[in-house]
């Protein structure tokens, strides 16, 4: 039985060095660094109201903080473009990362903005905005004039890594990543850097408590969980002016009835996490009909995907991906993730998988889950008696 080295025994400080700026940079596209002042170059762009504008960056910023991303392509030719643009739109332009408790809807317009720069033509960027209704500023840079002023001299393919910066109100770079491919871990670092910039206290728990080791054969720790649902709501919430419904349950509710897959992941709206949830969604679609044939798999299991997030982000992600089968569990304080040794004190989850059998025991653990390499092993566990 597969049982990888437990990530919770590894020093989480290594993760900090992995995901905090100073990533390796291409000599062709070195990009600007933390502490440097951005250039005040003139840009042609669509504003957040989809109106065409030409301005210099400083005037566009209006003494705000700015999240700026240089993407090699914002169309579907770039496999990272949609998840990256959606993440920046939902998390930061719309303010979902900051939650209604911070009243960030007003703060975002007054003190913070998002700009994406792409070499796509002005017509192509206009089409993207008309199709997607993004709230960020989108600049067309076919001659790479803006990009070169930031040290990004060429793009060799549509799927190259993007360059991402956070610029403070004084036009100084306070965060730089030159290897961004829609990673959930890095998305959470950007969020934490903006929390720090605006002196926002995160809701998730940070502590030095020792984790209780978990092993196959152990009784699965019980927990209450909430998830975004279209049915059986326990309470309602309002976000972005829309009303959604949330259901509550306990893990122990399923004892004697269903197997449970508990999948911890870094962040909604990230490339690998989207691949993971789509794989689960497709698997349930394929296996549900087998229940009619008396298969051992089918509607006798549930999949819970757990992230340190909030319902505004989860509802938007569920809607964008069209999810019907997977339950997106909101673990805003990280308490479930800590209980299962999957919590990273920097603010996101490691990719871990637990299978809870019908007796409430942990029958399978993967401490370093990779959907492309490990999904077949997981399917074997779900198919076993």
The rounded percent of the chain whose pLDDT value lies above 70 is 80
369 vs 309: CA distance, rounded Å: 20
Which CATH superfamily is 208-383 part of?
Glutaredoxin (3.40.30.10)
Which CATH superfamily is 13-197 part of?
Glutaredoxin (3.40.30.10)
Nearest Cα neighbor of 343 from 188, 205, 184 is 205
User: What is the DSSP-derived secondary structure letter of residue 172?
Assistant: B
At 291, list the tokens. Answer: 């229940």
pTM of the model: 0.85
6 vs 123: CA distance, rounded Å: 50
pLDDT (0 to 100) of residue 144: 96
Nearest Cα neighbor of 141 from 214, 68, 60, 43 is 43
Q: By the 8 A CB rule, do 198 and 213 touch?
A: no
What would the pLDDT profile of 118-138 be if each residue is shown by its tens digit? Answer: 999 998 998 888 888 888 999
Residue extents of the structural domains in the chain: 13-197, 208-383
> Which of 180-184, 237-241, 361-365, 368-372 shows the lowest per-residue confidence on average (mean pLDDT)?
237-241
Beta bridge partners of 248: 226
Q: Which residue has the tokens 């990533």?
A: 23
pLDDT (0 to 100) of residue 209: 63
Label residue 92 exposed, middle or buried (CB < 10 Å: 0-12, 13-18, 19+).
Answer: buried
What would the pLDDT profile of 135-169 be if each residue is shown by its tens digit? Answer: 899 999 999 999 999 999 999 999 999 999 999 99
The rounded percent of the chain whose pLDDT value lies above 90 is 53
What would the pLDDT profile of 197-231 be if each residue is shown by its tens digit? Answer: 988 877 776 565 666 789 999 999 999 998 877 66
How far from chain centre, in Å, is Cα 146?
Answer: 27
Q: Given CA atoms 49, 54, 56, 62 in this order, what sign does their dihedral have? A: negative
Kindly tell me if the per-residue pLDDT of 106 is higher than 70. Answer: no
Per DSSP (E only), the strands in the chain are: 42-46, 52-56, 65-70, 112-118, 137-140, 162-167, 173-180, 224-228, 235-239, 242-250, 259-264, 301-307, 327-330, 343-344, 348-349, 352-356, 362-366
Q: Which residue has the higher pLDDT, 105 or 162?
A: 162
259 vs 184: CA distance, rounded Å: 27
Domains 13-197 and 208-383 share a fold: yes
How does DSSP assign 285-301, residue by residue?
HHHGGGGGGT-SSSTTE
């Amino acid at each position: 039985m597969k049982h990888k080295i437990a990530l919770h025994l590894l020093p989480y400080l290594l993760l900090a060095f992995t995901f905090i700026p100073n990533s390796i940079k291409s000599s062709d596209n070195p990009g600007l660094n933390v502490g440097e002042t951005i250039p005040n170059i003139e840009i042609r762009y669509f504003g957040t109201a989809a109106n065409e504008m030409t301005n210099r960056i400083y005037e566009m910023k209006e003494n705000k903080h700015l999240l700026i991303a240089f993407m090699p392509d914002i169309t579907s030719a770039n496999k990272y473009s949609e998840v990256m643009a959606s993440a920046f739109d939902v998390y930061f332009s719309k303010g979902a990362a900051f939650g209604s408790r911070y009243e960030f809807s007003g703060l975002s317009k007054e003190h913070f903005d998002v700009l994406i720069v792409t070499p796509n033509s002005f017509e192509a960027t206009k089409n993207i905005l008309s199709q997607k209704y993004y709230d960020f500023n989108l600049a067309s840079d076919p001659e790479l004039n803006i990009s070169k002023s930031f040290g990004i001299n060429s793009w060799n393919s549509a799927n190259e890594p993007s360059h991402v910066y956070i610029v403070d109100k004084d036009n100084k770079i306070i965060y730089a990543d030159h290897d961004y491919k829609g990673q959930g871990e890095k998305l959470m670092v950007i969020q934490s850097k903006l929390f720090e910039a605006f002196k926002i206290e995160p809701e998730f728990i940070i502590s030095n408590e020792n984790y209780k080791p978990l092993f196959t054969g152990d009784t699965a720790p019980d927990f209450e969980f909430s998830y975004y649902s279209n049915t059986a709501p326990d309470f309602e919430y309002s976000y972005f002016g829309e009303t959604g419904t949330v259901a509550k349950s306990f893990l122990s509710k399923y004892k004697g009835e269903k197997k449970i897959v508990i999948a911890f992941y870094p962040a909604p709206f990230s490339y690998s996490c989207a691949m993971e949830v789509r794989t689960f969604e497709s698997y349930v679609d394929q296996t549900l009909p087998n229940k009619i044939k008396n298969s051992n798999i089918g509607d006798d299991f549930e999949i819970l995907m757990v992230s340190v997030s909030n319902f505004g982000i989860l509802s938007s992600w569920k809607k964008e991906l069209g999810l019907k089968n997977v339950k997106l569990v909101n673990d805003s304080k990280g308490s479930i993730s800590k209980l299962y040794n999957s919590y990273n004190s920097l603010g996101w989850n490691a990719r871990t998988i637990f299978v809870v059998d019908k007796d409430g025991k942990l029958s399978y653990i993967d401490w370093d889950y990779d959907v492309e390499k490990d999904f077949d092993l997981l399917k074997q566990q779900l198919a076993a008696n």
